[in-house]
Amino acid sequence: MRVMAQMGMVMNLDKCIGCHTCSVTCKQAWTNRAGTEYVWFNNVETRPGQGYPRRYEDQDKWRGGWDLNKRGKLVLKAGGRVKKMFGLFASPVQPELKDYYEPWTYDYKTLVDAPLGDDFPVARPKSLITGEDTKVTWSANWDDNLGGSAENGHLDPLVEKVRRESEDKIKFAYEQTFMFYLPRICEHCLNPSCMASCPSGAIYKRVEDGIVLVDQDKCRGWRQCVTGCPYKKIYFNHKTGKAEKCTFCYPRVEVGIPTVCSETCVGRLRYLGLFLYDADAVTAAASVTDPQELYDAQMDVLLDPNDPAVQAEARAQDIPEDWIDAARRSPVYALAKVYKVALPLHPEYRTMPMVWYVPPLSPVVDLLRDQGHDGEDHGNLFGAIDALRIPVEYLAELFTAGDADRVTAVLKKLAAMRAFMRGISLGNDPDESIAEAVGMDGQTMYEMYRLMAIAKYDERYVIPKAHVEQAHDLEEMGCSLDFDGGPGMQDSSPFGEASGRPVPVAVDTFNALRDRQTSDEVSAGTSLKGRVNLLNWDGRGAPPGLFPDKGPEPGTLAAAEDQP
Amino acid sequence: MVTLEAQPGAAVELSALDIVLWGVLPYVMVVVLVGGLIWRYKYDQFGWTTRSSQLYESKLLRIASPLFHFGLLAVIAGHFFGLVIPKSWTEAVGMSQDFYHFNALFVGGIAGIGTLGGIVLLIYRRRTTGPVFMATTKNDKAMYVVLTAAIVFGLWTTLASVFEGGHGHNYRETVAPWFRSLFIFQPDIAAMAAAPFSFHLHTLVGMALFIIWPFTRLVHAFTAPFHYLFRPYIVYRSRDRDGGRTGGRARAGAGSRSVTTAAQNPNAPAAKRGWSAVGTQDRDTRNR
């Protein structure tokens, strides 16, 4: 047994309101640079829907993830090492920009600069790739809130699958049936197929916290990882020619604060914490024959942090004491393995994903309410979960490789929790029978309720800090994502585009902060250069630049020109 | 003027230009190539990439790029066969000059035409696909000129000997001995000087290509990922790459809090991780 620690995330889909705040803040933090215009490390998909990039779950086409070969050995679906080497010159299956979308902006300037005329000026969309006028036809969340699903709904690979396996009548009522949101980031898998696909060995998993990163210096742009990742969460920066991916906000996590997407989540639906897992058991677990048993295999890989034997082994592996303690308090471990309400996304890809989802009960509750039933009554809910096969089967395609019973069990737990807590809220005695109906006891159910409904910041995010003795190394990790316009990022340096050494994150942040503190504008204007931004002023003393220069004497021509 | 024995009995007058081009330039080229590669590997890892444009356009690339690259691999193999293996060796195994010649022209011609067709398609694609053209730098354009010229002139030498037939120039008696002599630092300048102009031109453009090589996107060829065939699929890397050894340094620089931590746990083992040896080398091998 080799105990390793893994940062994990759980998202409670019942709470997601589809506001895209996580996507936007993530983009502002990580992918607001040239070359990554089309990249969303975090995106929110409306399901049923095609997703981003379009139909990424259709692995018959995109060949992502792992497969078992005839001898039951784990092999990359897109082909082994030799086949990959022959595909270097033109990657055989790689999504193109049109599969994501062509990023665009608007010609806002004409709104301001257009001369007076009879017509209103229009801000036309301009492609961020070519700079030409463009027609906006698709985006990362084009089918948001089932937009266009009457026409395109059947293009969801999971809908196709459920329809194939179900009776015909589902077909017609399908689009009206249900809807929920699925926020997605990199899964930081235990058995990542992107890493296995990388010819250069540039993608690595950090032993300390399991975060999967791309070494920007080692990446040579062979782009096999894009094919390898079944979630299509590795992106090719078309300007630097390097692969980029969600970093689990490692600079934040290392100092004990949650990722940007978690921090800004309006619904507070994300949980962050540690898993302890047995690294030696991963390959065997991912090689289980029946895809529907992969969930159980993944559960077995996760170790119980309260088990003294596991703790002893963790100490033997030099996992710090505060990390073991954090693993004991981990909300993600509780939701995934103790309460067993969080499920992995597409376990059938055999990558052992470490971002988990509590499946949404709300489609069922909404339907009950619409039909005039009491959506909070556990009797009604239990029956409805069984009766409303369509959402359950769809969820099963997402989370349990098609095992509907497993999803039903989770939904029943959530329904039981609803009914159990409603009884308490109405002043009744806790109804233990509700908890027992789903194999729990009242106390556990109450604890689960606390974690899922009212857990505070430090209960939702249990993130042990990286150790101070490592601080020096953390300053300049080999995986900095660069900023446009930095010293190494000239448009066209002598050695080709984006050539040069990357600027370490620390230096870049320092410069950016200094620029911001001495400027009132987004781009530092000359007139305000050297001035103190009052928002950043600590109120003590009068630093240089607090007050504007005196300027020309009043009454002079220069002063008159300065008047607005 | 230096006089050297080019071939038995034939004394050839060498001009200064010959000495510079065939005696000095090859070594300058090697110095620039090797020095440039080392320098770039050290200081521009981030720029060392294929800069693939497949994201923008894939249909043409799917045909043109493998055509070009596989053609090029065949061309390189042909160069090796023609330049490195002496004529006497092939004769020793019973390969007649005519048979060799036919093979060289036939296989070499196909590979050359494939490579040329590939690069013409690639350049056409680059010029006509908007996003790809926009991502093309001046550096790329200059590189394409030299690369295409090297291929065209190389093909010219091959095709010329097709039309000259058996009476054509045999580069295995001029260019090849010169090439081999370079490696023992006894450049056979006279042999090269005796080769026709087309070979001179191809060799010069070829040397120019190798001189600019380290400074263009062509560098990706030197990191062809052969180690992928042998490395484990899953790569673990430690964040604190040399374990406890950095501990003292980090504590010294990290302020009072970490010192206190150390004082509280005087018996705590240095932060050496059991898994430090797992995985690939970290970036500390580079001088940053």
Which residues 360-419 on chain A approach chain B with CB closer than 8 angstroms?
Answer: none
Q: How large is the ipTM?
A: 0.78
Which range, of A192-196, A344-348, A479-483, averages the lowest pLDDT? A479-483
Residue A253 belongs to a domain: yes
- A94 contacts B239? CB cut-off 8 A: no
Outline where B13-96 has alpha helix (H): 16-19, 25-43, 59-79, 87-92
> Is residue A41 scored above 50 in pLDDT?
yes
User: Is residue A233 a part of any domain in this protein?
Assistant: yes
Q: Residue A375 and residue A388: Cα distance in Å, rounded? A: 13
Q: Is residue A212 part of a domain?
A: yes
Count of Cβ atoms closer than 10 Å to residue A118 Cβ:
4
Rounded to 10 deg, the angle between the A157-165 and A170-177 helix axes is: 140
Predicted TM-score (pTM) of the model is 0.81
Does the residue A501 lie in any domain?
yes
Cα A107 to Cα A9: distance, rounded to the nearest angstrom? 39
Give CA separation, A234 vs A52, A166, A193, B39, in Å.
12, 33, 11, 30
Q: CATH 1.20.950.20 spans which residues of chain B?
A: 17-224
Choose the weakest-confidence range: A347-351, A481-485, A523-527: A481-485
| A405 assigned to some structural domain | no
Fold of B17-224: Fumarate Reductase Cytochrome B subunit (1.20.950)
If pLDDT is split at 50, 70 and 90, which confidence band does A166 have? low
Please indicate whether, in this complex, the C-beta atoms of A204 and B235 are within 8 angstroms of each other: yes
B273 touches chain A (CB under 8 A): yes
To the nearest whole angstrom, how far is the Cα of B84 from the nearest Cα of chain A?
A: 27
Which pair of structure tokens corresponds to residue A456?
A: 């505070």
**In Å, how far is B132's CA from the nearest CA of chain A?**
9
pLDDT at A485: 43
Listed range (A204-208, A548-552, B108-112, B232-236) with the worst mean pLDDT: A548-552
Name beta bridge partners: A6.
A275
Domain end point (choices A287, A305, A321): A321
pLDDT at A547: 77
- Asked if A497 lies within 8 A of B135 by C-beta distance, the reply is yes
Report the mean per-residue pLDDT for chain B.
Answer: 80
Number of domains forming the structure of chain A: 2
Residue A420 lies in a domain: no
Instruction: Look at A417-431, B5-19, B238-252 and tell me which has the smallest mean pLDDT.
Output: B238-252
Task: Report CB contact under 8 Å: B231, A84.
Answer: no
Q: Chain B neighbours among A 180-209 (CB < 8 Å)?
A: 191-192, 195-196, 198-201, 203-209
Is A347 inside any structural domain?
A: no
User: Maximum CA pair distance of chain B?
Assistant: 89
Quote the crossing angle between the two packed helices A321-328 and A308-316, to the nearest 10°.
150
- A90/chain B closest Cα distance in angstroms: 5
Question: Domain limits at A26?
Answer: 3-101+140-321
Pull the structure tokens for residue A191: 């058995």
Question: Which chain B positions have a beta carbon within 8 Å of A474's beta carbon?
Answer: 239
Q: How confident is the model at residue B4 (pLDDT cuts 50, 70, 90)?
A: very low
Q: Check if the beta carbon of residue B7 is closer than 8 Å to that of residue B173.
A: yes
Q: Do A500 and B46 count as a contact with CB atoms less than 8 A apart?
A: yes
Cβ contact, residue pair B43, A501, below 8 Å: yes
Cβ contacts below 8 Å, chain A against chain B, sum to 228
Mean pLDDT score, B33-45: 93
Q: Is A131 in the B-facing interface, judged by CB distances under 8 Å?
A: yes
- Tell me: pLDDT of A23 over 60: yes
A-proximal residues of B, 133-162, CB under 8 Å: 134-135, 137-140
Query: Per-residue confidence at A369, pLDDT binned at 50, 70, 90?
Result: confident
A207 with B223: Cβ contact below 8 A: no
Within 8 A of B47 by CB-CB distance, chain A residues are 488, 493, 495-496, 498-500
Whether the pLDDT of residue B269 is over 60: the answer is no
Contact B240 A208 (CB under 8 A): yes
Q: What is the pLDDT of residues A247-261, one digit of tens each?
A: 999 999 998 999 999
Structure confidence at residue A176 (pLDDT)? 55
Å from B6 to nearest chain A CA?
A: 41
Residues of A in contact with B262 (CB under 8 A): 469
B/e letters for A84-108, b = 16+ CB within 10 Å, e = fewer, are: bbebbbbbbbbbebebbbbbbeeee
Q: Assess A80–B contact: CB distance below 8 Å, yes or no.
A: no
Cross-chain residue pair A471–B137, CB shorter than 8 Å = no
Indicate the helix (H) or strand (E) that contains A139.
none
Name every residue whose Cβ is closer than 8 Å to that of residue B119 and which is 6 or more positions away in sequence.
B64, B68, B144, B147, B148, B151
Q: Is residue A180 part of a domain?
A: yes
